[in-house]
């Protein structure tokens, strides 16, 4: 992991960069040319205030109270009241990685230069990220339109010296947390409260982590599937390029390629190339098609997240005038336009799509697991539940129960983007529930990674019963890595330790690194 700062310029933030800030504690840097955009945007807001023009979020009330005009002397109070009143979250407190993801994504949205905040706001957010001042944020309260208001308000409170934050492992008031790191709290001015809280940064921050974790899970599933293919004496013919050339879905093609590469030079596959089995079960034969469809759903989400990360999502947005006469005369006025970029639907739908895909990935993994464990369907070389002396011993029998629980949980999660409850006096009459979709995506990818980890443990155990034949280049590297952390199951032992060990291998990319080193090239 590089120690280079993540450059926050409003244009180039990626899910992987968000993960670096969120999980690895990477610091951030805002280039000078980007700061100039922020200063110019602020000047436009100042001109509006001085003109006395009524503009939503600058000198009017909010939501249903949009018709209420606010006197100039009360504009600062308006902004602070907005943040205080909207900090109405409840439920669990966000994890540190979730808060840091929110901080960096909100910063990136503001530096695009369409929000009208002062550079001082940018500086405080940079310091909070780099000095690890983490606001205490309640998870529940966002409807994904007008953005993630409640969670972002809890974050914004700390910017103003209110609320609570953790610093150096201590929970402090917002004022004490900033003081600990010599950061001056901000007195909010026109538009700045709204600029801090109106946007999709909880959703897109969490969605960035979902993308990274889902891609990690996808590669792990291909590895586990390849190991199970060998352990069950199944064929890799279903991954032959000719099959996928005539149905060229991108994800399907990539998963088939991974299976071929992982099993390259496999003595196991070669040993039964001309056997009398006609076809394998769908969970093995259709692996490229199912895995590929999930892979496509993840790519679909990545595209939306990369766009959203580098978008202006608050309301209203502040643009330079489009009037050429004003520009020529030097009396340029801002065009302040109200719209709906805060609406989380572009993310919510794709998050739910990925949740469905990941649920299927866990489901097919559990079915492959059963092919190794179930004495009614497993191959002759495999003992019941992958243990000698079955009956006296249960082997990995109950590991499949755990996988079944996780698969069932995935299926029951629901799809939040299909729901909408009107709020704010019916002014905000259609919302996205995108934050809920992000939470469900996070839970589903975690459950699915656990199922894949169980399949890995079972596949390594099954390969122990394949005598005198070596696995493929990639699958052998995976087998060796699993065996370095999970010993062969001879006598019964608490299986939860095996599950946690394989999960740690997948989360840390240790298994993937070992496989890609053996292949001398990254997996797709």
Distance (Å, whole) CA 13 – CA 19? 11
Q: How far apart are CA 219 and CA 213, in angstroms?
A: 10
- Which residues of 125-219 form beta strands (DSSP E)? 134-135, 138-140, 164-167, 170-173
Let me know: does 125 contact 151? Beta carbons within 8 Å: no
DSSP state of 345: H
Neighbouring C-beta atoms of residue 101, cutoff 10 Å: 26
* Residue 56 is among the residues annotated as catalytic for this protein: yes
> Residue 472: which of 485, 489, 459 has the closest Cα?
459
The answer to whether 423 and 88 are in contact (CB under 8 A) is no
Distance CA 474, CA 223 (A): 8
Give yes or no for a cis peptide into 316 (omega within 30° of 0).
yes
Whole-number Å distance between alpha carbons of 464 and 481: 14
For the chain, give the number of residues.
524
**CA-based Rg of the chain, rounded to a whole angstrom?**
27
Helices (H) and strands (E) in the chain, counts: 21, 9
Strands 317-319 and 170-173 come out as: unpaired
| Residue 179: both structure tokens together | 């003081």
Q: Pick the closest to residue 219 from 438, 514, 15, 20 (CA basis).
A: 514
Pairing mode, strands 6-7 and 28-29: parallel
The Cα 127–Cα 137 span in angstroms is: 18
Distance CA 84, CA 102 (A): 18
Neighbours of 238 (CB within 10 A): 20
CA distance 291 to 247: 14
Catalytic residue among 56, 282, 396, 401: 56
Is the four-CA dihedral 125, 127, 130, 132 of positive or negative sign? negative
Tokens 């006469």 sit at which residue?
325
Catalytic residue numbers, as ranges = 56
């Amino acid at each position: 992991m590089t120690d280079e700062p993540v450059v926050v310029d409003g244009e180039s933030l990626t899910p992987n960069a968000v993960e670096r800030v969120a999980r690895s504690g990477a610091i951030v840097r805002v280039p000078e040319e980007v700061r100039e955009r922020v200063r110019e945007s602020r000047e436009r807001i100042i001109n509006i205030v001085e003109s006395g023009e009524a503009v939503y979020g600058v000198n009017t009330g909010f939501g249903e109270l949009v018709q209420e005009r606010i006197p100039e002397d009360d504009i600062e109070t308006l902004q602070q009241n907005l943040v205080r009143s909207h900090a109405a979250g409840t439920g669990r407190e966000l994890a540190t990685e979730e808060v840091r993801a929110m901080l960096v994504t909100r910063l990136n949205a503001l530096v695009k230069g369409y929000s009208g905040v002062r550079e001082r706001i940018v500086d405080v957010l940079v310091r909070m990220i780099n000095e690890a001042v983490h606001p205490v944020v309640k998870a529940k309260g966002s409807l994904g339109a007008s953005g993630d208001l409640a969670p972002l308000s809890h974050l914004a409170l700390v910017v103003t010296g209110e609320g609570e934050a953790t610093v150096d492992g201590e929970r402090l008031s917002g004022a004490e947390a900033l003081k600990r790191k010599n950061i001056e709290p901000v007195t909010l001015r026109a538009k700045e409260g709204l600029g801090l809280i109106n946007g999709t940064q909880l959703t897109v921050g969490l969605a960035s982590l979902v993308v990274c974790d889902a891609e990690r899970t996808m590669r792990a599933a291909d590895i586990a599937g390849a190991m199970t293919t060998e352990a069950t004496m199944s064929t890799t013919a279903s991954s032959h390029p000719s099959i996928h050339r005539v149905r060229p879905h991108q994800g399907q093609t990539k998963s088939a390629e991974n299976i071929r590469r992982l099993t390259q030079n496999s003595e196991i596959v070669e040993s039964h190339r001309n056997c009398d089995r006609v076809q394998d079960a769908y969970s093995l034969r259709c692996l490229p098609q199912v895995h590929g469809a999930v892979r496509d759903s993840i790519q679909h989400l990545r595209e939306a997240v990369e766009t959203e990360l580098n978008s202006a999502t608050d309301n209203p947005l502040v643009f330079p005038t489009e009037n050429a006469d004003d520009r020529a005369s030097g009396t340029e006025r801002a065009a302040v336009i109200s719209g709906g970029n805060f609406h989380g639907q572009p993310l919510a739908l794709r998050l739910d799509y990925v949740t469905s895909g990941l649920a299927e990935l866990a489901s097919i993994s559990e079915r492959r697991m059963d092919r190794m464990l179930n004495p009614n369907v497993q191959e002759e070389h495999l003992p019941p539940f992958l243990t000698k002396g079955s009956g006296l011993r249960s082997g990995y029998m109950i590991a499949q129960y755990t996988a079944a629980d996780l698969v069932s949980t995935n299926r029951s999660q629901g799809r939040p983007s299909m729901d909408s409850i009107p709020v704010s006096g019916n002014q905000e009459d259609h919302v996205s529930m995108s934050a809920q979709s992000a939470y469900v995506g996070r839970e589903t990818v975690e459950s699915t990674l656990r199922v894949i980890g169980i399949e890995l443990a079972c596949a390594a155990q099954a390969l122990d019963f394949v005598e005198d034949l070596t696995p493929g280049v990639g699958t052998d590297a995976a087998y060796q890595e699993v065996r370095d952390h999970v010993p062969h199951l001879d006598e019964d032992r608490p299986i939860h330790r095996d599950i946690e060990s394989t999960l740690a291998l997948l989360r840390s990319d240790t298994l993937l690194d070992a496989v890609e080193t053996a292949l001398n090239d990254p997996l797709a």
